[in-house]
């Protein structure tokens, strides 16, 4: 259980800065989609380069801060001595993949914005396939333990990033244009992208802070409990692959509709994606309700971790139903580059989680899961109310106010 717990804790520590930088993907999609909707090849090139440069700068800054802060972060989680050693060993290797992960976010966001979901999927699938292959070689074959798990992830991330970079030139042939050095040097061309990324960063900080808090509070309940919670949260990860896929489609379609100023296309995309999202969430809820124990058993053969996870399966079954609204509305807001509204909704939900987690603390891990469900529910409700308010004002199709800066000239 110690090595499994170390991977869970190490992954949470690594994921905190990496997933926070998910704004690189989300911030790029809307601007790329709107530029593609206008068939603006110049802006597409500028948005991509800006996103890649931003990814490189952020990766360097995070790596400079990560190792000095690592002991402090682990102290907050209070793992056992054995768990601490395994976690440090995992992270010393895992951080080598961080620049590739951030470059991958920027590239996937750009591809999705251009409605090239095939290339975005290729990058993601290759990353995961290489990761799995090297896990089999390094962990099962060579018995490298947590270090092998970390190295497999690093190799997968760099492979995916290289595949994404190699596909750029072919994609740009569909949108003739050129990169204007003068536009890259003007603050006005950077300001919209940076403003959106700033607001999505704040939103992501709150979101990942909540996930990190779940891991921290779970670790304080014992090594076995933090491992059990990690297995349960993998269920949300699996469901999010489908729900995020629909959200990605909404992001691209919304951006294209705004780029063309087409409210009918926007409405049609929302209705279709909404129906599929609801169906997907119901199917995942049924799967976890009926086959939750099988899902846990497939992830570990450690009896203690299995027995700790089983009582919390009803919460896992409820998660897709509670979270589906926020995934769908994320797609709408990202495609419209309305990051400020996303930020405000997430802040409200984060405050709700903190209050619920504090109030339900005597309930132990049950209280923690109830607080997490409450967070997801408040998040969806806040975004839904905001979306309805914008619709009443007739402000969704205002593409000119939400484009990726001035066109280069």
Cβ atoms of 136 and 149 closer than 8 Å:
no
Backbone angles phi, psi at 27, to 5 degrees: -70, -25
Whole-number CA gyration radius for the chain: 21
The model's pTM: 0.76
User: For 117-155, how does the pLDDT look when each residue is reduced to its tens digit (9 = 90+)?
Assistant: 889 889 999 999 999 999 999 988 887 778 899 999 999
Q: What single string gives the DSSP state of each residue in 282-330?
A: HHHHHHHHHHHHHHHHHH---HHHHHHHGGGHHHHHHHHHHHHHHHHHH
End-to-end Cα, the chain, rounded Å: 59
Query: What is the C-alpha to C-alpha distance for residues 355 and 375, in angstroms, rounded to an integer?
Result: 10
pLDDT of 401: 45
Residues of the chain with pLDDT under 50: 399-409
Dihedral sign computed on CA atoms, order 33, 196, 57, 12 = negative
User: Exposed, middle or buried, 162 (CB in 10 Å: 0-12/13-18/19+)?
Assistant: middle
CA separation, residue 311 to residues 119, 210, 235 (Å)? 40, 22, 15
Unique residue bearing structure tokens 């984060």: 350
pLDDT of res. 400: 38
Q: Given this model, what pLDDT does residue 405 score?
A: 44
Six-digit token pair at 34?
A: 């709107």
Angle CA(284)–CA(286)–CA(289) in degrees, nearest 5?
110
What does the H/E/C string look like for 38-78?
CCCHHHHHHHHHHHHHHHHHHHHHHHHHHHHHHHHHHHHHC
Rounded distance, CA 290 to CA 102, Å?
Answer: 37
Whether 364 and 311 have beta carbons less than 8 Å apart is answered as no
Task: Give exposure, 54-81, as e/b (b: 16+ Cβ within 10 Å).
Answer: bbeebbeebeeebeeebeebbeebebee
405: left (phi over 0), alpha (psi -120 to 50) or beta: left
The pLDDT score that the predictor gives to residue 80 is 63
pLDDT of residue 34: 86
**H/E run at residue 136:** none
Q: What's the sign of the alpha-carbon dihedral 352, 357, 360, 366?
A: positive
Quote the pLDDT of residue 402.
44
pLDDT of the residue at 251: 84
* Centroid of chain to Cα 184: 28
């Amino acid at each position: 259980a110690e090595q499994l717990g170390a991977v869970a804790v190490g992954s949470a520590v690594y994921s905190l800065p990496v997933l926070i930088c998910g704004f690189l993907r989300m911030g790029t999609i809307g601007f790329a989609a709107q530029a593609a909707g206008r068939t603006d090849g110049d802006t597409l090139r500028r948005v991509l380069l800006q996103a890649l440069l931003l990814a490189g700068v952020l990766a360097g800054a995070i790596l400079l801060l990560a190792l000095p802060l690592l002991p402090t972060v682990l102290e907050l989680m209070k793992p056992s001595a054995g768990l601490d050693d395994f976690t440090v060993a995992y992270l010393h290797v895992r951080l080598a993949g961080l620049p590739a992960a951030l470059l991958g976010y920027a590239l996937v966001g750009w591809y999705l914005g251009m409605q090239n979901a095939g290339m975005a999927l290729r990058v993601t699938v290759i990353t995961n396939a290489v990761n799995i292959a090297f896990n089999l070689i390094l962990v099962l074959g060579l018995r490298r333990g947590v270090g092998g798990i970390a190295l497999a992830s690093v190799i997968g991330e760099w492979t995916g990033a290289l595949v994404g970079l190699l596909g750029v030139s072919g994609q740009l042939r569909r949108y003739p244009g050129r990169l204007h050095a003068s536009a890259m040097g003007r603050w006005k061309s950077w300001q919209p992208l940076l403003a959106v990324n700033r607001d999505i960063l704040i939103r992501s900080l709150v979101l990942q802070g909540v996930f990190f808090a779940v891991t921290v509070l779970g670790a304080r309940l014992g090594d076995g409990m933090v491992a059990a919670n990690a297995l349960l949260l993998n269920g949300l990860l699996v469901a999010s692959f489908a729900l995020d896929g629909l959200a990605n489609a909404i992001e691209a379609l919304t951006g294209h509709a705004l780029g063309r100023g087409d409210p009918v296309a926007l409405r049609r995309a929302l209705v279709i994606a909404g129906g599929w999202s609801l169906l997907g969430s119901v199917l995942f809820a049924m799967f976890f309700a009926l086959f939750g124990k099988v899902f846990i058993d497939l992830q570990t053969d450690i009896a203690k971790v299995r027995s700790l996870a089983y009582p919390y399966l009803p919460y896992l079954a409820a998660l897709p139903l509670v979270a589906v609204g926020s995934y769908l509305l994320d797609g709408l807001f990202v495609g419209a580059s309305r990051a400020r509204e996303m930020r405000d909704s997430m802040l409200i939900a984060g405050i709700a989680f903190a209050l619920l987690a504090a109030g339900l603390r005597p309930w132990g891990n049950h209280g923690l899961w109830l607080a997490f469900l409450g967070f997801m529910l408040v998040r969806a409700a806040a975004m839904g109310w905001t979306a309805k308010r914008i619709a009443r004002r007739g402000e969704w199709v205002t593409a000119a106010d939400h484009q990726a800066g001035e066109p280069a000239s």
